[in-house]
Amino acid sequence: MRAHIVKIGNSQGIRIPKPLLDQTGILDDVELEVDKTQIIIRPISNPRPGWDNAFKEMAESGHDNMIAENISNSWDEEEWQW
């Protein structure tokens, strides 16, 4: 498939047809990489999907407190200068 480079403000770009976006799963932001004479476009992956919702649920249920308040050990007392 061919595409034409178009002027977009002070930059240039291409229009990516919807079928290509559907095939690749690209919805929003992308990562761009240059490999010699090629431009590689890939979707940005979220390495921790669902974590935001999990943290929100923990806060709402009160399960986001510190487990131990005093976590010092003997090394803190013997080796560290405060």
Each residue of 14-71: pLDDT tens digit? 999 999 999 998 988 899 999 999 999 998 877 788 888 998 998 999 888 777 777 7
Q: Helix, strand, or coil here: 75? A: helix
| Confidence (pLDDT) at 8 | 93
Extents of the domains making up the chain: 6-43
User: Taking a C-beta distance cutoff of 8 angstroms, is the pair 5, 12 a contact?
Assistant: yes
Examine the pLDDT at 81 and tell me if it is beyond 80.
Answer: no
The pTM of this model reads 0.51
Q: What is the rounded distance in angstroms from the CA atom of residue 6 to the CA atom of residue 8?
A: 6
Of residues 82 and 50, more confidence is placed in 50
Give the contacts of 34 (CB within 8 A, at least 6 positions apart): 40
Higher pLDDT, 69 or 11: 11
For the chain, the farthest-separated pair of C-alpha atoms sits apart, in whole angstroms, at: 69
Q: Which pLDDT belongs to residue 82?
A: 63
